[in-house]
Amino acid sequence: MDARRETEPTPMKNRATVERKSEREIVVTRTINGPARLVFEAFSKAELLKQWWLPKSFGLTLLSCEADVRAGGRYRLVFSHGASTMEFYGRYIEVTPHSRLVWTNEEGDDGGAVTTVTFEEKGGKTLLVMHDLYPSKEALDASGAQGGMSETLDQLDEFVATLGASLGRS
Amino acid sequence: MVQYTQIRLDDSFAALSDATRRGILEQLGRSDASITDLAERFDMTLTGMKKHVGVLEEAGLVTTEKVGRVRTCKLGPRRLEEETAWLERYRQLWDSRFDELEKVVEALKRKETIHGRKKRD
């Protein structure tokens, strides 16, 4: 249950890369120490998802997390940011155990991105590729914070200021 | 303000749509370099490299300065900061999230080991 106990830094730290593949796409990749079935499990069970999707360092409080992870199932994350409440929600389009998840992001008013996550296991580690495809270049630009988050760049700044502070501690 | 920032980001992203140009920026992030250095590193002709640097320069991502016969390229002062800062912030955000994911996965792994489901590596 307590997944946060292990805080000692790992010797070989995995690092994410971010690439804007095209006008409508952003791709984030990262290796996770662990087999694909466990990484997939962490994505596909709400009680696990809520342990990591909004790290404390984001300065947000997760109020609820529901995820019915099957094709056609819906998810909704509600969190508070200062005095305001925000939501992420959408629908799972494809759920292929241990290898692929596709979901919609419907919280924005710009048609929303489609997120595809692939899980590729190699030597006990999993290469995660998260691909966000926006309906248009404008939608991607307008999303500001990206990744299905519809906050403004300013808010992203705030997130990351706290994030930077916490990273600096390690 | 936000819109203005986004328009500027648009220009930058257009310049960044090319893998070589992204590589050039990465390289310049480590140290300034001459066009000749860059051409060698990316295995390109001087003319080809000049074109790439020209695009980056127009987008304000790179500045160049000619000293003697050598044209030195460096990262553009402001827009690059904005650009790389944006990507870097986004990257950090995901890294932070994935660090937490890794902890969750680690806990799942331990649980499996305890329950004797550990697979042979």
Does a structural domain hold residue B23?
A: yes
Domain boundaries, chain A: 17-145
Residue A105, pLDDT > 50, answer: yes
B21, B55 contact by CB (below 8 A): yes
pLDDT in tens, A25-71: 889 999 999 999 999 999 999 999 988 988 777 777 889 999 999 99
Predicted confidence (pLDDT) per residue in B64-90, tens digit: 998 888 899 988 765 556 666 777 778
Q: Are A117 and A56 in contact (CB under 8 A)?
A: no
Three-state SS across B26-76? HHHHHCCEEHHHHHHHCCCCHHHHHHHHHHHHHCCCEEEEEECCEEEEEEC
Report the 10 Å Cβ neighbour count for A136: 12
Residue A66 forms beta bridges with which residues? A76
What is the C-alpha to C-alpha distance for residues B24 and B29, in angstroms, rounded to an integer? 8
Res A104: pLDDT: 94
Q: Is residue B82 part of a domain?
A: no
Beta carbons of B10 and A141 less than 8 Å apart? yes
Q: Which helix (H) or strand (E) holds B5?
A: helix B2-15
Computed over every residue of chain B, the mean pLDDT equals: 79
Query: What is the count of structural domains for chain B?
Result: 1
Residue B95 with chain A: CB contacts under 8 Å: 15-16, 30
CATH number at residue B9: 1.10.10.10
| Any domain includes B106 | no
Q: Confirm whether B42 is domain-assigned.
A: yes
Cβ-Cβ contacts under 8 Å, B2 against chain A: 144, 152-154
Residue B105: both structure tokens together: 């996965």
> Across the A/B interface, how many CB contacts are shorter than 8 Å?
118
- Do residues A58 and A40 touch, judged by C-beta distance below 8 A? no
Long-range contacts of A116-121 (CB under 8 A, 24+ apart): A117/A43, A119/A36, A119/A39, A119/A40, A120/A36, A121/A35, A121/A36
Measured between alpha carbons, how far is B45 from A130 in angstroms, rounded to an integer?
A: 35
Suggest the residue from A153, A158, A162 to mutate for an interface test with chain B (most B CBs closer than 10 A).
Answer: A153
CB contact (8 A) between residue B106 and residue A34: yes
Q: Hey, are the CB atoms on B2 and A52 less than 8 Å from each other?
A: no
As a whole number of angstroms, the distance between CA A105 and CA A86 comes to: 13
Per-range mean pLDDT, top range of A47-56, B21-30, B96-105: B96-105
- Quick check: is B108 in a domain? no
Which residues of B sit within 8 Å Cβ distance of A?
2, 5-6, 9-10, 13, 16-17, 86-87, 89-109, 112, 119, 121
| Domain, as residue range, for B13 | 2-76
For residue B59, being part of any structural domain is answered with yes
Name which of A131, B19, B79 is nearest B27 in CA terms: B19
Residues B42 and B23 sit within 8 Å (Cβ to Cβ): yes
**Is residue B120 assigned to a domain?**
no
Q: How far is B45 from chain A (nearest CA, A)?
A: 25
A33, A53, A152 ranked by CB distance to B106: nearest = A33
Contacts of B119 (CB under 8 A, 6+ apart): A35
DSSP state of B115: T
CATH 1.20.58.390 given to domain A17-145: no
Q: CB–CB of A4 and B103 under 8 A?
A: yes
User: φ and ψ at B18, to 5 degrees?
Assistant: -105, 130
Q: Residue B45: which pLDDT band, with cuts at 50, 70 and 90?
A: very high
What integer is the mean pLDDT of A89-103? 96
pLDDT (mean) for B2-23: 62
Residue A98 has pLDDT above 90, yes or no: yes
